[in-house]
Chain A
Amino acid sequence: MDTPFGLQGFVDGTKLNGKSRLPRIPSNIELLVKQNSLPHGSRAFHGSLPVSESTKGAYLNRPLSPHLPLKKPQLSATYSISHRIFGAALASAILLVPLSMKFSTLLYA
């Protein structure tokens, strides 16, 4: 057994294995070579139309889906985010007060 899975890519000389690497090309874009191997009579969908070499660059560099700077900041999203932040803070406070009470009596003198 070599490097543990959690440390792969962080320890020198280790690489993520090929299976877990993200595919570079989105699945709905097919390359021209593949297009030629389609059987006769089948019509390609819009998404699988062959793309020219010049437009392919724009497709491949496009931002992926939860891309926050593309979206206009809205009040409802801000409420949602702050709701989660305050919830996490409140939960940790409720958990930490009794824990700190428990350990403070052990560590005092």
Chain B
Amino acid sequence: MAESPNPLGFLWKHVEDVKEHWKKNFAFVDYYKKTLGWEKPLPKWTDADVEEFISSDPVYGPQLKAIQESRKYVAFGATLGAAQLGGISLKYSKSPHGFLLATGFGALCGGVLGAEVADHVKKLYKVDKQGVNLRFLYWWEDKTRGNLE
């Protein structure tokens, strides 16, 4: 139909376009729907279950293991950053809350930097990290709800 009978047709089309645009902007929420938005929550898993997934899956297992090892880099970077900024603020700051804020900010910056280092050392920038977590989650769902074998 070339001519819309609705005089507001142009406006509605524009609203639809804007809706599409914002759907694209908020596409990252999809991951949280898949991880947190279960109608019936999955049973809790233990470290042994994660180990089992890592040894059973030839593709995503090593990737998940690399992600787990990257936590050490994050922890190390956060400790280093907290010690650095916390030390400086302990020496020069005139207020205890300033010392706390500086330590927290140092830990945050150090953690982000550590995560970046881990990305490059472990080649994690090639990996879809959310995808790996979802692979484990779906494996766990199949295992606990009896869809496996």
Q: Please report A residues at the B interface, Cβ cutoff 8 Å.
A: 4-7, 10, 99, 101-103, 105-109
Contact = CB atoms under 8 A, between A and B. Distances in A.
B143 interface: no
A107 to B, nearest CB: 7
Summarize B's interface: helix, strand, loop or mixed. Answer: helix
B91 A4 contact: yes
B130 to A, nearest CB: 5
Summarize A's interface: helix, strand, loop or mixed. Answer: helix
Contact of B108 (A7, A99, A105, A109): A99
Interface residues on B, range: 20 to 34
Interface in B53-75: 53, 64, 67-68, 70-71, 74
A36 B93 CA distance: 42
A27 to B, nearest CB: 22
Contacts of B137: 109
B96 A7 contact: yes
A105 B129 contact: yes
Interface in B31-83: 35, 45, 50, 53, 64, 67-68, 70-71, 74
